[in-house]
Amino acid sequence: MSRIKVNAALAITATPVFGCALLAALAVAQRNVFDALVREDSVLEWGEVCAYGVAAVISVRVALRTGGFVRLAYGLLAVAALGAIGEELSWGQRLFHVTTPEGLAGANRQEELNLHNLDSAESATRFMLLAAATYGATLPLWRRPGPFVPPRTLVPAFAVVVVYFGVRLALLSEPTYAQAKFSEWPEFCFAAAIALAAHSTLTRLHPLKCRKKNPAYTGLS
Indicate whether 139 pLDDT > 50. yes
pLDDT reported for residue 208: 46
**125 in a domain, yes or no?**
yes
Indicate whether 62 pLDDT > 90. yes
**127 in a domain, yes or no?**
yes
pLDDT reported for residue 211: 46
**109 in a domain, yes or no?**
yes
**84 in a domain, yes or no?**
yes
Average pLDDT in the chain: 86
DSSP 141: G
In the chain, pLDDT over 90 holds for what percent of residues? 65
Alpha helices in the chain (DSSP H): 3-29, 31-38, 43-65, 68-88, 93-96, 102-107, 122-138, 155-171, 177-181, 184-203, 208-213
pLDDT reported for residue 209: 42
pLDDT reported for residue 106: 56
pLDDT tens digits for 50-60?
999 999 999 99
Range of the domain at 8: 3-213
* Bigger pLDDT: 1 vs 16: 16
pLDDT reported for residue 191: 97
pLDDT reported for residue 159: 98
**220 in a domain, yes or no?**
no
pLDDT reported for residue 102: 63
Cβ-contact 219, 204 below 8 angstroms: no
CA atoms within 13 A on the CB side of 36: 5
**20 in a domain, yes or no?**
yes
pLDDT tens digits for 193-216?
999 999 999 999 865 444 444 444
**218 in a domain, yes or no?**
no
**62 in a domain, yes or no?**
yes
Domain count, the chain: 1
* Bigger pLDDT: 123 vs 114: 123
